Structures are given as C-alpha cells and as structure tokens.
A = this chain, B = another copy of it.
Amino acid sequence: MSSTTSAGASRRTLGSGLRATAKVLPEHTRAHNRALVLQHLFHEGPTSRADLARATSLTRVTVSDLINGLLAEGLVEELGVQRGRGVGKPAILVGMRTDAYQIVTVDLSDDTVMRGAVLTLTGEAVVRRSLSVHDRSGDELVSLIERFARRLIASATQPVIGVGIGAPGVIDESGRVHEAPNRKWTDLPLASLLTDHLGLPVQVANDADVAALGEYTFGGGGDSMLVVTVGQGVGAGLVVDGSRVWGANSAAGELGHVTVVDDGELCACGRRGCLETVLSAPALRRRIEGLDRDAADAALAHVGRILGITLAPVISALNLGEVLLSGPADLLDGSLRDAAQTTVAERTMPAVSAGLRLRMATLDEDVVLAGAAVLVLGAQLGVS
C-alpha cells in the first residue's frame, strides 16, 4: 500500500498544545480529514457518505472525494444501498475493509518468551506465535525479533500495513529505547532499525503505554485514564485529555518504583519498599501463599489500600476518569480492587472520586498485542 507512508502524518490531529511547533500545509488538512473519516468508519461501522459528512461536518463533496481515494487504496468498500430509511434516494453504505489489511504485533514484556500475532485491523488474531528468548539480549535479541517478525509477516494472509511492538523500558516517541536493563539495551533506535530491515513501518513503545492504548481503543477507555499493569513488575500507561503522556524524559508511567512502604522489602532496583515489591504478581502470590481464603483476602486488601494511597494524589492531580487494573484477575479483581477503590474514595475529594471508575482491564493477556496494533493503526491510518 503505497499510500501508508504518505498517511504517516495523519496521526497528527488538532489538539491544544501550548507552544506551536511545526508548520502546517494544505496536505496536512487533507490527512487530518481523511483520518477523521476513517476514524468514524472504524468505530461506528459502515456509514453513507452523506452521514459521514454530517458526522464530520465536512461537505458531502469533500467526503466523496476522500472516500474515492480510500476506495482506490482498497481501505474501504461500498456495501450496497441502505433501503427504507424514509424519503429520498437511498444511501450507499461505505465500510472499512478491516480484513483486507493486517497488522503484525510483538509483545516483549515477558522476559522469557516473545509473543507475536497477525491481527486484522479490528484487532482479531489471525495467527499467533511465540518464541522462547533463551536469555538472549542486546543485538542478538534484536535480530531474533527481526526473524520472528519476518516469520509473522510471511504468515500474514493479507498485505501488512505495519509492525507494532510493545517492549519494557523507557522508549521515546520515535521508538528509540533509551534503556531497558533486562534486555541489555541502551539508546537503541529499535523502531528505525527494524523499519529499515523489514521494509515496513515499525512502531515501538513501552509495553504499559501500549496496554493503555489497547484499552483506550479496544477496551472502551475514557479520555483521562490510567492503566496499571501488574505482571513480573508493575507499570503504568496513561492517557490524559485524549493524549498519551510521554513525560519530560519519555519515562511517564514508571509507577513500579515509587516508594510505598517505609523500610520495606528490598527491590530489584536497589531501593526499598517500591510498589513493585508488594503489587507485582510474584509478590502478591508470595504474600498469600499458604493462607486460607479470608486471610488471603485480607492480605490482598492490604495491598489494595497501599495502591489506593499511592494513586490518590495522581487521580486528584489529573482528575482521572478511569483507572484500569491489568493483570491476573484472581489476584487483582477482588478484595484488592475493592480496597483500592474505597481507599481512593476516602482520600480524595468527592468531586474527584465520584466521577472515577476503578475497574479491571477488559483485554487481559492480549492487551499488549492489541495495543501494539493501535500503535500501527494510529501511525498509518490516523485511527485510534
């Protein structure tokens, strides 16, 4: 699809940035409006040109023109007339061909296994694969990822519009990994390396950020939300006022290593009492090991309170609408979540806590794979 590269800029949409930054050309206008149309088709399903015009407040003429381009690219198709909607000429439904293109995604969040998939544009898995990492790291790991991605691309049954990767570590907007200690990566331009080698646009982002994106797009997350991912470690990704948060050094979301217990357990990071020492999946399992049901619930509630105390300032400062917990439901979705919720309610003003939902994430194990697809959808088509 030759157009995907030209559509790259379409991810940029009108926002409310304070300091103006880059010039805008007429073609950016086009890309933006094209994304607007695709966005609507993606989320609302097949729609007539006239309805698209009403929804986007563009004119029918412009919408027709945009649709013609999308038809030529094979991104949308006509689905026949929509009869019996009252007077007037019946409308021709236009729908996105979500099966006509595919996305390859890779989840590197696990230390030992890399998981990958070929997905449709709606995030449905067509192919899944996984591969043992065998302690590989550094450049060796990069070429392993490349081979893995190549195999996935080969097994796609439709043209692939891009590759999305969720990886641990601090990763900036360009897909450069600043540091990922477990993978022995420092200052590695992973996205551009793989883009060159694979000959396809590759997007790379932090796994927790990617999980947040997945929940945002496929899980129905709100415009201001925090996703806490609990696994080997603890991470977080956040969307504020409809934008992903990067932070001053692209390290936003690093909640796992905030101190939450004074003189607590020693953490892998060298300090004591980090959130990760109480909330990571292994830590939680250790905590409830051998306990009966009630005692385990109480132990999990204790951690929930700690989480609530930690989140209260964040929720207040950002006036978050949703906090999602992503990870093993048997550990998180019970007394832990309840305790966290009540603790947050106790410790924040009603105006803030009243509008807050603290719930489990909806996508579970596939969050990162689905989220990585959103990365590609956003970059290539302007859809999210």
CB-based contact A12/B13 at 8 Å: no
Q: Mark A1-41, 1 if CB is under 8 A from B, else 0.
A: 00000000001111111111111111011001101100100
Contact: B252 with A319, CB < 8 Å?
yes
The minimal Cβ–Cβ distance linking A35 to chain B, given in whole angstroms, is 5
- A18 with B240, Cβ < 8 A, contacts A312-B258, A317-B226 known: no
Known: A29-B26, A349-B257. A355 touches B17 (CB 8 A): no
Q: Which of B255, B318, B346 contacts A247 (CB 8 A)?
A: B318
User: Is A77 among interface residues, defined by CB-CB distance under 8 A?
Assistant: no
Assess whether A254 is in contact with B319, with CB atoms less than 8 Å apart: yes
Residues A334-359 near B (CB distance < 8 A): 346-349, 351-352, 355-356
Task: Please report which residues of chain A, range 215-272, place their CB below 8 angstroms from some CB of chain B when the two chains form the complex.
Answer: 216-217, 222-224, 226, 236, 238-255, 257-259, 269, 271
Contact in complex: A23, B56 (CB < 8 Å): yes
Of A241, A246, A252, A271, chain B has the most CB atoms within 10 Å of the CB of A241
Q: By the criterion CB–CB under 8 Å, are A251 and B18 in contact?
A: no
Q: Which of B25, B269, B347 contacts A258 (CB 8 A)?
A: B347
- Give A17 to B35 CA distance when docked, in angstroms: 12
Contacts of A246 on B, CB cut-off 8 Å? 241, 319
Q: Sort chain A's interface into a size bin.
A: 35 or more
* Residue of B whose beta carbon sits closest to that of A27: B29
Residue of B nearest to A354 (CB): B249
Interface assignment of A361: CB less than 8 Å from any CB of chain B:
no
* A253–B268 CA distance with the chains assembled, in angstroms: 33
Point out the residue from B23, B58, B252, B356 that lies within 8 Å of A33, measured CB to CB. B23
Query: Does A47 sit within 8 A of B, measured CB to CB?
Result: no
Check if A252 sits within 8 Å of B21, measured CB to CB: no
Are A320 and B14 neighbours in the complex by a CB distance under 8 Å?
no
Contact A17 B252 (CB under 8 A): no
Is there a chain B Cβ closer than 8 Å to A313's Cβ? yes
A348-384: which residues lie under 8 A (CB-CB) from chain B?
A: 348-349, 351-352, 355-356, 378, 382, 384
The reply on A310 being an interface residue by CB < 8 A is: yes
What does the 1/0 interface line of A124-157 toward B look like (CB < 8 Å)?
A: 0000000000000000000000000000000000
The answer to whether A313 and B16 have CB atoms under 8 Å apart is no
Contact B258 A348 (CB under 8 A): yes
Known: A14-B21, A226-B317. 9 other contacts (CB 8 A): A12-B15, A13-B15, A13-B18, A13-B21, A18-B244, A18-B384, A223-B248, A252-B317, A269-B349
